[in-house]
């Protein structure tokens, strides 16, 4: 029997077929889950996301526009979701933003206030904003699983990751505080810390070639992470198999985070 039969949820962050969110949705759907999808507003963004969702083989997909930087958009997206589905079993947060001008190696100390705050707003605060809207729907569903994507640059300095590392540290900590507050409603909140994957977002980070090379030579598994590796972890987190797991950061990076030198 499929692990996620009867589970329904919202996947935020599919820009194209390379997005981590796409691989996560692929894994969830393969295990019987039904998904709605949130994308950045605008015709071009909708078209891009729709094309990627078509590749997932979802008939008549529910697509909702949401600029997660706007509270009213988050409200509207969850309202739209609730018009189509009467339960919310999982929420996938797979979005991040930082001005690429400040993601160059050696540029961290020059990051302007506005760029710093924008990175934390979109990449970290939005998890709280979405969790708040998800809370009632999940509670009515008997609980739920919220997951968000992070990277090792939250824990250690990765040259070029810069302000995004600060935002990811805030994201990981936000997940722990949310987990503590929402656990009484059987809502679990976890982070998947994924390895480097070539995507639109990761192409903005300086020094990514080095990250790719390090994965091949230093990672215990001697390979880079694949989307399906993270998809598999997401299936486990959305399923009842992980019912006792919350507030955790789970590394899916072929082990590279365990290597010191
Ligand atoms: N690719 C990697 O190497 C890697 C590694 C670890 C973690 N991550 C994380 O995975 C997540 C997904 O990134 P990805 O690599 O799949 O890249 P991606 O570019 O495919 O996805 C990023 C998504 O963020 C969305 N987004 C940006 N600003 C938004 C806003 N204001 N409102 C709503 N959506 C917004 C974009 O539309 C896009 O869908 C991010 O949190 C990223 O930091 C990526």
What is the per-residue pLDDT for 210? Answer: 81
Q: Is the pLDDT confidence value at 216 over 90?
A: no
The correct answer on CATH 3.40.50.720 for the domain covering 8-258 is: yes
Residue 1 has pLDDT above 80, yes or no: no
The answer to whether the CB of 97 falls within 8 A of the CB of 200 is: no
Residues with CB under 6 A from ligand 1: 13-15, 19-21, 40, 66-69, 94-97, 122, 149-151, 194, 196-197, 199-202
Confidence of residue 192 (pLDDT cuts 50, 70, 90): very high
How far apart are the C-alpha atoms of 2 and 159, rounded to whole Å?
A: 41
- Of the listed ranges 42-46, 101-105, 208-212, the least confidently predicted one is 208-212
Give the residues across from 144 on adjacent strands.
Answer: 187
Measured between alpha carbons, how far is 137 from 16 in angstroms, rounded to an integer? 28
Atom of ligand 1 nearest to the CA of 197: 3
pLDDT at 219 over 90: yes
Distance 216 CA to ligand 1 centre (A): 23
Task: Write down the mean pLDDT value for the chain.
Answer: 96
Q: What percent of the chain has pLDDT above 70?
A: 100
Q: Which active-site residues does the annotation give? A: 151, 161
Task: From 96, 175, 234, give the residue whose CB has the most ligand 1 atoms within 8 Å, as the site to mutate.
Answer: 96
In the chain, % of residues over pLDDT 90: 93
- State the Cα angle at 176 between 256 and 166, rounded to 5°: 60
> What are the domain boundaries of the chain?
8-258
Cα 208 to ligand 1 centre (Å): 15
Predicted pLDDT at 207: 79
Across the strands, what pairs with 190? 147
Specify the DSSP element, H or E, that contains 114: helix 113-120
CA distances from 25 to 69, 152, 185, 210 (A): 23, 22, 25, 28
Q: What confidence score (pLDDT) does residue 257 get? A: 96
User: pTM of the full predicted structure?
Assistant: 0.98
């Amino acid at each position: 029997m499929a692990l996620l039969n009867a589970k329904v949820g919202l996947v935020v962050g599919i820009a194209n077929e390379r997005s981590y969110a796409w691989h996560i949705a692929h894994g969830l759907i393969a295990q019987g889950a039904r998904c709605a999808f949130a994308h950045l507003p605008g015709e071009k963004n909708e078209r891009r996301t729709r094309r990627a969702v078509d590749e997932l083989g979802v008939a008549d997909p529910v697509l909702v526009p949401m600029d997660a930087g706007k509270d009213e958009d988050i409200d509207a997206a969850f309202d739209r979701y609730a018009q189509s589905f009467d339960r919310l079993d999982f929420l996938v947060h797979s979005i991040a933003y930082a001005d690429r001008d400040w993601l160059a190696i050696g540029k961290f100390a020059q990051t302007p206030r506005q760029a710093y705050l924008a990175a934390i707003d979109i990449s970290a605060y939005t998890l709280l904003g979405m969790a708040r809207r998800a809370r009632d729907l999940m509670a009515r569903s008997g609980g739920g699983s919220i997951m968000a994507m992070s990277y090792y640059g939250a824990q250690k300095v990765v040259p070029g990751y810069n302000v995004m590392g600060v935002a990811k540290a805030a994201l990981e900590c936000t997940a722990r505080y949310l987990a503590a507050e929402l656990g009484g409603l059987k809502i679990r909140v976890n982070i998947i810390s994924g390895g480097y994957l070539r995507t639109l977002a990761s192409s903005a980070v300086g020094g990514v070639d080095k990250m790719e090379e390090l994965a091949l030579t230093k990672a215990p598994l001697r390979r880079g992470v694949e989307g399906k590796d993270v998809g598999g972890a997401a299936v486990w987190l959305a399923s009842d198999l992980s019912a006792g797991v919350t507030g955790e950061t789970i590394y899916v990076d072929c082990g590279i985070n365990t290597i010191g030198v």
